[in-house]
A and B are shown apart, each in its own frame.
Chain A
C-alpha cells in the first residue's frame, strides 16, 4: 500500500469536474473515503458514477479538481499509474483470461520467474495465499473459463487484492449474483475492510447499500448531492435524493380482474437445467419467477419462448397445446421474451429505433414482399410516444440511447407483436429510476388489457410489489407457489434456498 500521509483518509477527490462534447458529466464533485470504510455511491444512470470512477481509474483525466491518494496528491493518471498507486477496479465485466488457470490469472503480467521460465510452484503458492486471505475455496489449477460466475468474480478480486491496493472500487458487483453468492462477496468485502482497504461500492441495490455500507454518497446530474452515514438514511430517502422527487408509487400495482389461464406449462424439462416445471399465468395476472442465480429461471423463460427449447413437457397457450422449438414458433404461439442481456440480445445498435421496434414482425408489414414504410413509421411513432422515449427520435440508431430507453424499445418491440404472454427477464436491470417507473406502468397496462405476464427479477422488492403470485425455483425444480398475501422476502428466500415446508 501507498505510504499513509492522509491521516486515515485513503482517498480525497476535490472539486472534480469533467465535460464531454455536449455534456458536462461532473460538476465540482467532492468525495472522501476513509481507510477501512465501505463507501457506497448511488445515483441514477447518467448521474456521473462511472465517470467519477473512470477518472479514479485513470481512464479519463479530470478537467478540474485534485485527487489525493493516502494523502499524496496525484497528477493526471494513466491506468497503469493508477494501479501502481494502489487503486484497484472490479468491473461488472470481469477482466479474466478464460483459457489460463486461476493461478496464472492472479499473477498475470507479473508472473514469478526462474530465469526465463515461469516459476510455476511460486505462482501456485502466491495464488493460494491470496485466496486463503479471502476465505475463498478454489483450486488454483482450474481453467478460469470452467468456473462459475461467482467464482470468477472471486478470482478477479483475488487478482486485485494481490497487488496490495489501498482502494478498491466495486462497480455493480452483485447484479449477476444470487443471494448466496452475494453473502460470499460481502464476507470477502468484510475481510478487505478489516485489512484497511478503502472500498467504493457502486450499486443500484439500495438494500445492499444499507447492509454493507458505512457511508453513502448520492450523485445526481453530475453533482454530489449528499454524503451521509448509512445509519442515518433510508432507501426511500436515497431514492428521493437520487431523483429529486418522492417516488411513492415506485411500483404501481393495479387491482385487476384475473381471467382464464393464458399460459400453462406442465412437466417442462431440459437436461441439466430444470425439471418438472409446472406453472400457469392467467389473463391480467403478473406472475413472478424467483430463485437464486443458477436456479434455472432464465432457462425456463428461454425454453417457453423457444430460444433454447425444452426437451420434455407440455406448453399450452389459451388452452391449445403448442410445440415450441424456436423463437419463431414461440412468437407464432403468442409468446414474447424480453431477454436478460439487453446489449447482447436486446438491441441491434446500429439500426434505427424504428427498425428495432419492428424487427420481429417485419415479415408482416409487407405487400408483395416489400416493406410498407409509411405504415411502419406511423405505428412506431405512436408507440414511441406512449413509451416516453427520450428523445422521441425513431430514426436515430438505438445504440445512442440510454439503457433505460433501450429497454423501453425492447419492451415495445414485443408489445407491437401483440403477444398473449409477455415474459420479462430482469426488465429493470441497469435502468434508471425514471425509466423503471415507465416500464412498470407499461407492464401494468399490458396486464390490464388482458395480457399475461411472467416476470423474472432478482430484486425481491420489485417482485413482491407487483406480482399476484410468485413461483420459486431451486436448483432447477419448482419448490413453491406463493400467493401475494403470503409473499415476503423471507418466504421467497426460504423457498429459493431450498428450505421448503412439507
Chain B
C-alpha cells in the first residue's frame, strides 16, 4: 500500500470520531434545510441518550477486558418493569424498580463471570438469551402501556437550550465516569485489570470485586437506558433493547475504545454516541427504514474494527525490533 495512502488511512482511524461527525454534519447540512440547527442538535442528543447509557455501561466493561452482550435484553426487562409496575408501586418507585432490575441482572452476570468463572463472552451470551426469553414470557409478547403517561413526558423537553433532561443526565454520567476513570485510583486500577490481570492481582487489587462491580454498573446503565426509553415513550416493550446492542458497541468503537482492554475513555464513547446519533437522525429525516440503517451501522462497525486492526495492531507488547525508540541504554 502506498505510504501516503497508509498515513491517510491511519489518520482517518485516529480521528475517526471527528471525521464521522464532520461527514454527517456536512452531508446533512447540504441535503436538509434545517439540519444544522440547535433544535436538531438537541434532538440528536436527546435520542442518543438511550443508546448512550448502554454505551457508557459498556465502556468500563471493555476497558477491563470483558464484554457484556446482555445489555439489550436487560434494557428490555427494565423498560417493561418500569411501566408494568406503575399501577402497583407508583410511577417513581416503578422507575427505580426498573433500575433495580438492571442492577440485579448485572449482579447475576457478575456471579456467573466471577463466581463460576465463565468467560464473559459466553456468560453474557447466555444471559442475553435468557433475558430476552424472560421478557417475552413475562409480558406474553405484548408491550404494556403506561398508567401514568404524563410522568415521563418531561424527559424529552428542552433543557438549557441544547439539552433535554434525558441527555443532560447522559452527559453528566459521562463526565462523572470520565473523572472516575482518569483521576481516581479505582479507575486506574480498572485499566490495570484489563491490561494485565496477573499484574493487577499481584499488586493486591481485588480483581474479582472490580469485575463484579462493572457488571453491576453495566446492568445499572442498561436499566437506566430502559427506564428512560420506556418513560419517554410511555410504553414498556419486551423488545425495547433487542436491536440496540450493535449500535451501542458501534458507538463505543467509533469513539476509539479498543475491544482488547486496557484502553478507553467515556468521553470518547460520548463522542461516538453523538456521531452515531447524528447519523441516525439524518437517516430518519431522509425516511430511511431501520433495516437499511442496520446495513450501514453494521458496515461502519466492521469497517472501523478492520481499520483498527490494520492500522493499530499492537496492544501492550514491546516490539523486540532493533531501532525501537525505547532501546536507548546509557
Residue of B nearest to A150 (CB): B329
Residue of A nearest to B316 (CB): A98
Any A CB within 8 A of the CB of B195: yes
Interface hit among A110-118, A165-173, A453-461: A110-118
Residue of A nearest to B262 (CB): A99
Residue of B nearest to A146 (CB): B326
Contact B318 A148 (CB under 8 A): yes
Contact B315 A294 (CB under 8 A): no
Contact A274 B322 (CB under 8 A): yes
Q: Which residues of B contact A272 (CB under 8 A)?
A: 321-324
Contact B205 A145 (CB under 8 A): no
Selected contact of A98 from candidates B189, B262, B324, CB within 8 Å: B262
Q: Which bracket fits the contact residues of B?
A: 20 to 34
Any B CB within 8 A of the CB of A96: yes
Whether A97 contacts B318 in the complex (CB less than 8 A), given A118-B185, A146-B326, A151-B326, comes out as no
Please report the C-alpha to C-alpha distance between residue A138 and residue B192 in the assembled complex, in whole angstroms. Answer: 20
Any A CB within 8 A of the CB of B263: yes
> What is the predominant secondary structure among interface residues of chain B facing chain A?
loop
Q: Which residues of B contact A181 (CB under 8 A)?
A: 329
Any B CB within 8 A of the CB of A152: yes
Whether A111 contacts B262 in the complex (CB less than 8 A), given A98-B195, A145-B318, A146-B326, comes out as no
Contact B191 A97 (CB under 8 A): yes
Q: How many residues of A contact B (CB 8 A)?
A: 45
Selected contact of A99 from candidates B195, B204, B329, CB within 8 Å: B195
Any B CB within 8 A of the CB of A21: no
Contact B199 A294 (CB under 8 A): no
Contact A145 B317 (CB under 8 A): yes
Whether A98 contacts B326 in the complex (CB less than 8 A), given A83-B204, A109-B205, comes out as no
Selected contact of B188 from candidates A111, A273, A293, CB within 8 Å: A111
Any B CB within 8 A of the CB of A498: no
Any A CB within 8 A of the CB of B295: no
Residue of A nearest to B263 (CB): A99
Any A CB within 8 A of the CB of B184: yes
Any B CB within 8 A of the CB of A481: no
Contact A476 B322 (CB under 8 A): yes
Whether A100 contacts B192 in the complex (CB less than 8 A), given A95-B199, A152-B318, comes out as yes
Residue of B nearest to A340 (CB): B320
Residue of B nearest to A180 (CB): B329
How many A-B contacts if CB must be within 8 Å?
Answer: 107
Any B CB within 8 A of the CB of A299: yes
Selected contact of A79 from candidates B191, B202, B323, CB within 8 Å: B202
Any A CB within 8 A of the CB of B200: yes
CB distance from B266 to the nearest CB of A (A): 16
Q: Which residues of B contact A118 (CB under 8 A)?
A: 183-185, 188
Q: Which residues of A contact B263 (CB under 8 A)?
A: 99
Please report the C-alpha to C-alpha distance between residue A293 and residue B329 in the assembled complex, in whole angstroms. Answer: 13
Contact A148 B326 (CB under 8 A): yes
Contact A100 B322 (CB under 8 A): no
Please report the C-alpha to C-alpha distance between residue A98 and residue B200 in the assembled complex, in whole angstroms. Answer: 11
Binary contact readout B189-219 vs A (1 if CB under 8 angstroms, 0 otherwise): 1011011101110111100000000000000
Any A CB within 8 A of the CB of B327: yes
Any B CB within 8 A of the CB of A184: yes
Contact A475 B322 (CB under 8 A): yes
CB distance from B206 to the nearest CB of A (A): 10
Any A CB within 8 A of the CB of B330: yes
Give the interface of A toward B (CB within 8 A). Answer: 79-80, 83, 93, 95-100, 104-105, 108-111, 113, 116-118, 137, 142, 144-152, 180-181, 184, 272-274, 293-296, 298-299, 475-476
The 8 closest A-B pairs by CB, nearest first: A98-B316, A109-B203, A145-B316, A99-B262, A99-B195, A108-B203, A109-B204, A95-B199
Give the interface of B toward A (CB within 8 A). Answer: 183-185, 188-189, 191-192, 194-196, 198-200, 202-205, 262-263, 314-318, 320-327, 329-330
Task: Given contact pairs A109-B205, A147-B326, A274-B322, enumerate 4 new A-B contacts (beta carbons under 8 Å).
Answer: A104-B188, A110-B204, A181-B329, A294-B321
Could you show 29 A-B contacts with beta carbons less than 8 Å apart? A95-B196, A95-B199, A96-B199, A97-B192, A97-B196, A97-B200, A108-B189, A108-B199, A108-B200, A108-B203, A109-B204, A110-B203, A116-B184, A117-B184, A137-B330, A145-B316, A145-B318, A146-B318, A146-B326, A147-B318, A147-B326, A148-B326, A149-B318, A152-B318, A272-B322, A294-B320, A294-B321, A294-B322, A299-B320
